[in-house]
């Protein structure tokens, strides 16, 4: 679909229907496999109580979303137990599902970015590291005043890049940096980390839609990212999960991406229809393959595991072989400056 047709369709109502676009897709499909796969969205760190024995509690996506409220005492162990470095589990899953390399970042929790650096050192040919700032708030509760997180953001980015050798900034929960709701004020409060990221010209990731963690749902609507992207046009911004199959959030993410060529998507939790529409409108060279593999998502197996699911999303999107190559690895290669050939 041409850009002007997307604008026309969304102008027919507050949030236009995508049905005709999906039905009218002319993209070809092919069964040729990708030359490599880079998983641009994985997480490290798991508490012992969650590393084993959850197969009877988490089998479906819905189980995972409800885990915090169904089993509050078991869930709360991630607040008290020491997180273990579980890159061996990640690599085993990658090997099982044909994933060549992965970008990895910390899960939400009181964990230093050093854990990611250690995993990359352990598997230098397989893993690239991303740093996080303020991730412990996601795990526990957001601070009444985010000023302390903002104050240390620049130093965390500098340390992550210069000392730990990490290549990008992973998921940043906006609520960890601000309590504002106006996009311009949100962008003001994100300035400390965005200025640091702009200095190194590395990518940063903002989640869309929902998460399994408490609070911060308001910021899942990515409309506010338009202001940030406009202020920092040289910074690659990844709208993670591209709306997570929720049409409202997907359309808002599309609006932001159309207005800002530095905005990218990863496919975590999306649908084949949304992936096809995004590839047609903003281009497959702005979309990254990702699974959201983590110490808890690894338990999801019904109806399929996260790797099988996200490969299926790509294969059923009706993309050409060249478009699949971009989604599976070339976009990650470009965005994270991996210099793979």
CB atoms within 10 A of CB 301: 13
According to the model, what pLDDT value does residue 273 have? 98
Tokens, residue 190: 């994100």
Domain total for the chain?
1
C-alpha to C-alpha distance for 257 and 263, rounded to whole angstroms? 5
Decide if 133 is inside a domain. Answer: yes
Decide if 32 is inside a domain. Answer: no
Q: Which domain, by its residues, includes 229?
A: 3-7+39-335
Do residues 234 and 198 make contact, with C-beta atoms less than 8 angstroms apart? Answer: yes
Decide if 126 is inside a domain. Answer: yes
**CATH code of the domain covering residue 201:** 3.20.20.140
Do residues 100 and 36 make contact, with C-beta atoms less than 8 angstroms apart? Answer: yes
Do residues 44 and 86 make contact, with C-beta atoms less than 8 angstroms apart? Answer: yes
According to the model, what pLDDT value does residue 138 have? 66
Compute the radius of gyration of the chain from its Cα atoms.
19
Per-residue model confidence as pLDDT tens for the chain (341 residues): 444 444 444 443 333 333 333 333 334 444 578 999 999 999 999 999 999 999 999 999 999 999 999 999 999 999 899 999 999 999 999 999 999 999 999 999 999 999 999 999 999 999 999 999 987 776 666 777 899 999 999 999 999 999 999 999 999 999 999 999 999 999 999 999 999 999 999 999 999 999 888 888 999 999 999 999 999 999 999 999 999 999 999 999 999 999 999 999 999 999 999 999 999 999 999 999 999 999 999 999 999 999 999 999 999 999 999 999 999 999 999 999 999 99
Tokens, residue 72: 């509050």
Decide if 331 is inside a domain. Answer: yes
According to the model, what pLDDT value does residue 22 have? 36
Q: What is the pTM of this model?
A: 0.90
Decide if 33 is inside a domain. Answer: no
Read off φ and ψ for residue 89, nearest 5 degrees. Answer: -65, -40
Decide if 27 is inside a domain. Answer: no
From the list 275, 287, 293, the residue with the least C-alpha distance to 329 is: 287
According to the model, what pLDDT value does residue 140 have? 67
Decide if 175 is inside a domain. Answer: yes
Tracing tokens 């940030």 back to the chain, one arrives at 228
By residue count, the chain amounts to 341
Decide if 26 is inside a domain. Answer: no
């Amino acid at each position: 679909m041409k850009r002007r047709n997307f604008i026309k369709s969304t102008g027919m109502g507050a949030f236009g229907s995508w049905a005709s676009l999906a039905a009218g897709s002319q993209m070809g499909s092919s069964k040729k496999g990708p030359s490599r796969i880079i998983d641009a969205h994985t997480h490290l760190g798991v508490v012992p109580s969650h590393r084993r024995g959850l197969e009877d509690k988490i089998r479906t996506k819905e189980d995972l979303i409800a885990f915090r409220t169904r089993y509050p005492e078991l869930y709360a162990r991630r607040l008290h137990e020491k997180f273990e470095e579980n890159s061996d589990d990640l690599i085993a899953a990658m090997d099982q599902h044909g994933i060549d390399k992965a970008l990895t970042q910390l899960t939400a929790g009181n964990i230093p970015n050093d854990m990611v650096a250690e995993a990359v050192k352990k598997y230098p040919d397989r893993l690239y590291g991303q740093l996080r700032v303020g991730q412990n708030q996601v795990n526990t509760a957001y601070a009444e005043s985010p000023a302390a997180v903002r104050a240390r953001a620049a130093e965390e980015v500098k340390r992550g890049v210069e000392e730990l050798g990490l290549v990008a900034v992973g998921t940043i929960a906006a609520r960890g940096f601000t309590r504002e709701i106006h996009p311009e004020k949100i962008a003001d409060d994100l300035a400390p980390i965005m200025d640091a990221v702009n200095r190194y010209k590395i990518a940063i990731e903002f989640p869309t839609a929902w998460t399994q963690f408490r609070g911060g749902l308001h910021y899942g609507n990515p409309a506010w990212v338009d202001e940030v992207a406009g202020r920092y046009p040289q910074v690659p911004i990844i709208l993670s999960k591209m709306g997570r199959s929720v049409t409202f959030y997907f359309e808002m993410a599309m609006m932001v991406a159309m207005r800002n060529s530095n905005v990218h998507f990863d496919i975590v939790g999306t649908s084949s229809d949304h992936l096809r529409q995004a590839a047609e409108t903003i281009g497959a060279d702005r979309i990254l393959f990702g699974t959201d593999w983590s110490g808890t998502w690894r338990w999801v197996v019904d109806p399929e595991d996260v790797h099988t699911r996200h490969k299926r999303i790509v294969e059923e999107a009706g993309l050409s072989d060249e478009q699949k190559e971009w989604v599976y690895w070339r976009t990650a290669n470009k965005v994270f400056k991996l210099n793979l050939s």
